[in-house]
């Protein structure tokens, strides 16, 4: 497994996307006159694609990664990106179609990871190992709640 494709590199990817969310929440572009949230989103997006390609291309040669907590970290960046894309919509009452498409990616990724069989029943090798299972699912839940709140249809409620 290449150095760049290890799960800990996903944390910086999530950080860039969180910066985009925070920048949009505090309206940095309006106050500073710089599209910093959009730039942070771009950095996070390209880093996520890079890490995704390396991890998935090496999955067949490193079967030890299947079901590991680090694999579940793949869910967090697009989940945070869904919230960020919705905030880029400038408070519109409807949910961005791009964010809906990305939310679909989050759902299918969760299903694929669950099919690989999470190793949550195994004794953790390090303190906080289960956090890698919990954090991505919570971020996906947050994106789903934001989606349901924006649509306010009988199906989402």
Q: Which residues contact 7 (CB under 8 A, 6 or more apart)?
A: 55, 68, 69, 70, 71, 73, 132
CA 29 to chain centre: 23
pLDDT tens digits along 91-144: 666 788 899 999 999 999 999 888 877 766 667 666 666 787 888 889 999 999
Calpha distance 80→143 (Å, rounded) = 7
Higher-confidence residue of 133 and 60: namely 133
The pLDDT, as a whole number, for residue 1 is 42
Measure the CA angle with vertex 71, ends 66 and 73; round to 5°: 170
pLDDT above 70 (res 63): no
- pLDDT grade for 8, boundaries at 50, 70 and 90: low
Counting residues of the chain whose pLDDT is more than 90, the rounded percentage is 36
């Amino acid at each position: 497994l290449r150095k760049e494709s290890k799960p800990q590199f996903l944390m910086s990817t999530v950080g860039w996307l969180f910066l985009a969310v925070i920048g949009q929440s505090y309206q940095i572009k309006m106050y500073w006159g710089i599209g910093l949230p959009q730039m942070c989103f771009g950095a996070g997006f390209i880093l996520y694609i890079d890490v995704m390609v390396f991890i998935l291309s090496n999955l067949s040669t490193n079967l030890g990664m299947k079901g590991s907590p680090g694999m579940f970290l793949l869910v967090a960046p697009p989940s945070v990106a869904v919230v960020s894309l919705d905030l880029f919509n400038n408070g519109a009452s409807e949910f961005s179609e791009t964010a809906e498409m990305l939310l679909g990616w989050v759902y299918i990724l969760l299903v694929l990871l669950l099919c690989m069989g999470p190793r949550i029943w195994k004794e953790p090798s390090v303190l906080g190992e289960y956090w890698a299972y919990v954090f991505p699912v919570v971020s996906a839940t947050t994106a789903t709640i934001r989606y349901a709140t924006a649509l306010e249809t009988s199906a989402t409620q």
